[in-house]
Amino acid sequence: MSVLCTGSVAIDHIMVFRGRFRDVILPDKVHMLNVAFHVPELKRSFGGTAANIAFNLRQVGGDPLILATVGGDDFGAYAEWLETHGLRRDYIRGLAGESTAGAYITTDLDDNQITGFHPGAMDRAHEHPVAAVDAPFGIGIVSPNGKQAMIDHAAALKQKGLVTVVDPGQGLPILESDELVGMMRGADLYVVNDYEWQLTQQKTELSHEQACERVGALIVTRGEEGSTLYQAGKEVAVPVVKAERVVDPTGCGDAFRAGLLFGMERDWPLEASARLGSVMGSFLVEHPGTQVPSITREQIAARHRQAFGEDVVLGEA
């Protein structure tokens, strides 16, 4: 059985300004800002939450499905990348006249960033519903996407009686209180980082206990402090797995969710699933980018054994 990954598929354009924004942007002139940055370095990388989760699921031997919308003319290289790494594209729909979602990030020498995000085809993801998926799957995740798509996908998964994971992430600010509560209600798992959990409570005006009553379980990730699982009135701390080096934390959360979903799809206890998530997150911290093909199942199994003192059975897909 597969896991359905719904959410964004995006291309990141990362530019490096070999200077400092503070030397170019004058504080007393921000009301009439007109600056240009010379950026001799440009790196394009493939990302988007749904694709990142699916890519990492493939790393542990899963066979994920991606439900997303992309540009009609600019997805060729990304499509080839996915195909090369064994990811199915059956439910990635290209929309004529639209661009694939993209982030345009300029970083200076102090690691300050100026980012513009163009949603493009992602804003029409609701036009490509869960009903379009005719392959079997038992669990689906609703990750950051166009607003209506997140709402519709969550409702459709629950209506089908499938295991539903709600992961609004960066999409939280665009959701109204009643929309977010509706997505949470009846979901099997709600997963967010600690900032997003505070934002959830603020936006919904629900207490921790009240919010937990609306979902089957809650996982809050806390960076270097690991994650916390709240289920059936109990609180369980899941430790972080130490990385060998810290290079780039981008995509760590998506890798965590991939490990989590792999375990859930195989009916592991949530704590055991989250432990595999911690292992996957530790590998992503060690590499730049959000889709790292060099990570092997043997490495994942060895690190899991080292961190938790037990073997883990990964997939063979």
Give the distance, in angstroms, between the CA of residue 34 and the centroid of all CA atoms in the same chain: 34
Using alpha carbons, select from 171, 12, 9, 34 the residue that is nearest to residue 105. Answer: 12
CA distance 243 to 1: 31
Using alpha carbons, select from 311, 280, 308 the residue that is nearest to residue 58. Answer: 280
Using alpha carbons, select from 258, 243, 224, 256 the residue that is nearest to residue 59. Answer: 258
Edge-first strand order for the sheet with 41-47 is 41-47, 10-16, 101-107, 113-118
Please give the positions annotated as active site.
254
Say which residue the tokens 């109204």 belong to: 176
Say which residue the tokens 């059975």 belong to: 313
Q: Which two tokens stand for residue 127?
A: 């036009």
As beta bridge partners, residue 113 has 107
* Size of the chain in residues: 317
3-state secondary structure of 301: helix
Strands 137-142 and 163-166: parallel
Is residue 205 left, alpha or beta, with left meaning phi > 0 and alpha meaning psi from -120 to 50?
left
CA distance 19 to 259: 39
Strands 101-107 and 10-16: parallel
Using alpha carbons, select from 3, 268, 24 the residue that is nearest to residue 157. Answer: 3
CA distance 62 to 226: 24
Query: Is the Cβ–Cβ distance between 49 and 301 less than 8 Å?
Result: no
